[in-house]
Amino acid sequence: MDRSSESRTRAAVVLGASGSVGNALMQELIRNGSFHPIVTLVRQSQLDQVANARDAGVELIETLVPTMDAAGLEAATTAAIRALEGDVVGLSVLGIGAGTAKLTIDEHRAVDVALNVAFARGLKASGRVKHLAFMSAVGADPTAATTGSGAAGMARYARVKGEAEDAVRANGPAVVSIFRPAMIIGSRHTPWLLEKALPLFSFVTPAKFKSITVEQIARAMVATSVEPPATSDVYHFAEMMVLGR
């Protein structure tokens, strides 16, 4: 990573701030203190985040996209960045949590692929963003089967996540850091029994499939945003733990 950027102040533009990982990401961005301002693209105001930022003396700008459609999101992203000064980085943790098994693959793609691509295009079109930190999921594979269940961990879910990764890389900033967590502890979509049981078996779980907390994901994503890497890369559990130290 470029160590010369350590003391550089930059703005951060965030998609997916209202979810479990998004809330942890916002807390970490505010705590870190390196981002002025922080801009979020949200359907509706997140009052807790506004209060937290105010208490920390950090400027938070909420850009409301009530319909959260692809065209509107892309335009709002570009417009929000054009109003900023200096360096800008993008971060996205947007994705459907629980309930993907009930969706068709096209309904899943409409959020995880289309909205993230719209955000990536908006970042690139601004001409100001060189790095995007993007959360995907372990096992993402654009060649996986499109049939069967769309539940997390199944082939169709992996297909949509893989398609999102490829599309974001093709349409977004020059450097995309992709984060692939497995089971996420602290997510409102993770069953509490799994949260309690999985850590007990961590000693026999392959590294990339180890469970990880929302805070650990957030710290890793912010680390690559403070010091953006020179090239795109994929980060699993082990790499995220190193980044988060």
DSSP secondary structure of 105-139: HHHHHHHHTHHHHHHHHHHHHHT-EEEEEEE--TT
Give, in order, the Cα–Cα distances in Å from 107 to each of 17, 56, 131, 157.
21, 38, 28, 12
pLDDT digits 0-9 by tens, 69-104 = 999 999 999 999 999 999 999 999 999 987 899 999
Whether residue 191 has pLDDT greater than 80: no
Give the homologous superfamily in CATH for domain 3-243. Answer: NAD(P)-binding Rossmann-like Domain (3.40.50.720)
Sorted by where each begins, the domain ranges of the chain are 3-243
Burial 163-189 (b: 16+ CB within 10 A, else e): bbbebbbebbbebbbbbbbbbbbbbee
Which of 142, 141, 149, 143 minimizes the C-alpha distance to 104?
A: 149
pLDDT band at 227 (very low <50, low <70, confident <90, very high): very high
pLDDT digits 0-9 by tens, 58-78 = 999 999 999 999 999 999 999
pLDDT band at 204 (very low <50, low <70, confident <90, very high): low
For the record, the structure tokens of 127 come out as 């001409």
User: What is the reported pLDDT for 99?
Assistant: 86
Does this model's pTM top 0.85? My answer is yes
Whether residue 45 has pLDDT greater than 50: yes
User: What is the reported pLDDT for 140?
Assistant: 97
**156, 105 Cβ separation under 8 angstroms:** yes
Find all residues with CB under 8 Å of 186, minimum gap 6, and list them: 20, 24, 195, 213, 214, 215
